[in-house]
Amino acid sequence: MTASPIVEIRQLSKTYPGAGRPAVDGVDLAIAHGRIFGLLGPNGAGKTTLLSMLCGLLPPSSGSLRIRGQDVRHQDAAIKRRLGLAPQDLALYPYLTARENLAYFGGMLGLHGAALRRRLDYCLDTAGLNDVADRRVETFSGGLKRRLNLVIALLHEPELLILDEPTVGIDPQSRRFIHENLKRLNAEGMSIIYTSHYMEEVEQLCDEVAIIDHGRIIAQGSVDELLAAPREATIELRTSVPPPPAAQAALRALAHVHTAEFDGKFVVLTSAAPQTVAPAAMRLLHENGVETTSLSFGAMHLEQVFLALTGTRLRN
């Protein structure tokens, strides 16, 4: 795995005609070759706009975009062939079968004969669609459609696979299936850009993450770096009875406690000083007639990092 950038973005901005504010606003990003790079952000953050510019589908208002050192605006067909985009809005023909869809898009890419048949077999296999290959796409579940949409981007064996919310609205099984395939493709050398609203999947799948909000990158780094940044931990307590309101208020007001959440006999505190807070919280609960039956410390999750950075929860 080399660390040379496959994508370099400098001061990239896009303002749609008539829009009051930019959809992408001064973005700088370098994405190393061979990684699974996660782009995480809520609705309207600018993810699709950014990817559309990267694929040469939308002209930037300003800034530069390079793929393997070559300016995207002057890109020739050879560079375009290195990219595979699975768009957020499904690009499928509902009245055609899965195999016919693949054959159609393969033909557009100049594949034919034995080469096309080889890629069709590969894609149907990778998507786990062999059993339904000759069924019309209109009869497919959301998960099957997503899988087909994804492998169409693999037809021409791209070097960089760009996925715009590939798991939106699908069942957990299909999601797991897609993730396992992406890990395998990445292990075989493919670079991947993956956008999502879902914290857990970015946390599990990606080597590096950029968090985008209102068109700006608000944090970037390895998942470990981002999780370490706030230097907070969670303190999770199980209690003998649900803490009464007075105990809850006292816990919230306890020194070094940042946030406190309550769910029945389950209490989650966040703090930069968990070693100090845990015994104080247990003592305070005891004084309120509540015993602690178990105590554990946990790391912050990306969801909490996002909340700390933006003040909003990720919307699905």
Contacting positions for ligand ATP (CB under 6 A)? 16, 19, 23, 41, 43-49, 88
**Which is nearer to Mg ion, 48 or 75 (by Cβ)?**
48
**Which is nearer to ligand ATP, 25 or 232 (by Cβ)?**
25
CA distance 42 to 93: 29
**Shortest Å, Cβ 222 to ligand ATP:** 22
- How far is Cα of residue 314 from the mean position of the Cα atoms in its chain? 12
**Shortest Å, Cβ 29 to ligand ATP:** 15
Question: With the C-alpha atoms ordered 131, 133, 138, 144, is the resulting torsion angle positive or negative?
Answer: positive
**Shortest Å, Cβ 159 to ligand ATP:** 23
The interface partner of residue 87, options being Mg ion, ligand ATP, none and the CB cut-off 5 to 8 Å by kind, is none
**Which is nearer to ligand ATP, 45 or 155 (by Cβ)?**
45
Comparing CA positions, the residue from 182, 2, 189, 156 lying closest to residue 80 is 156
DSSP state for residue 316 in the 8-state scheme: -
Residue by residue, DSSP assigns 74-138 as G--HHHHTTEEEE-SS----TTSBHHHHHHHHHHHTT--HHHHHHHHHHHHHHTT-GGGTTSBGG
Phi, psi dihedral angles at 45 (to 5 degrees): -70, -25
**Shortest Å, Cβ 15 to ligand ATP:** 9
CB 132 within 8 A of CB 144: yes
**Which is nearer to Mg ion, 87 or 243 (by Cβ)?**
87
- How far is Cα of residue 212 from the mean position of the Cα atoms in its chain? 11
The interface partner of residue 220, options being ligand ATP, Mg ion, none and the CB cut-off 5 to 8 Å by kind, is none
The interface partner of residue 5, options being ligand ATP, Mg ion, none and the CB cut-off 5 to 8 Å by kind, is none
Comparing CA positions, the residue from 306, 308, 209, 213 lying closest to residue 21 is 213
**Shortest Å, Cβ 211 to ligand ATP:** 11
**Which is nearer to ligand ATP, 46 or 243 (by Cβ)?**
46
**Which is nearer to Mg ion, 106 or 166 (by Cβ)?**
166
Q: Which residue is nearest to Mg ion (CB)?
A: 48
Give the CA count within 13 Å in the CB-facing half-sphere of 140.
Answer: 30
The interface partner of residue 46, options being Mg ion, ligand ATP, none and the CB cut-off 5 to 8 Å by kind, is ligand ATP
CB 247 within 8 A of CB 78: no
The interface partner of residue 107, options being ligand ATP, Mg ion, none and the CB cut-off 5 to 8 Å by kind, is none
Residues that bind Mg ion (CB under 5 A): 47-48, 88
**Which is nearer to ligand ATP, 23 or 278 (by Cβ)?**
23
**Shortest Å, Cβ 48 to Mg ion:** 3
**Shortest Å, Cβ 84 to ligand ATP:** 18
Comparing CA positions, the residue from 207, 202, 193, 210 lying closest to residue 83 is 193
Rounded CA Rg of the chain: 23
The interface partner of residue 193, options being ligand ATP, Mg ion, none and the CB cut-off 5 to 8 Å by kind, is none
The interface partner of residue 99, options being ligand ATP, Mg ion, none and the CB cut-off 5 to 8 Å by kind, is none
Helix (H) or strand (E) holding 208: strand 208-213
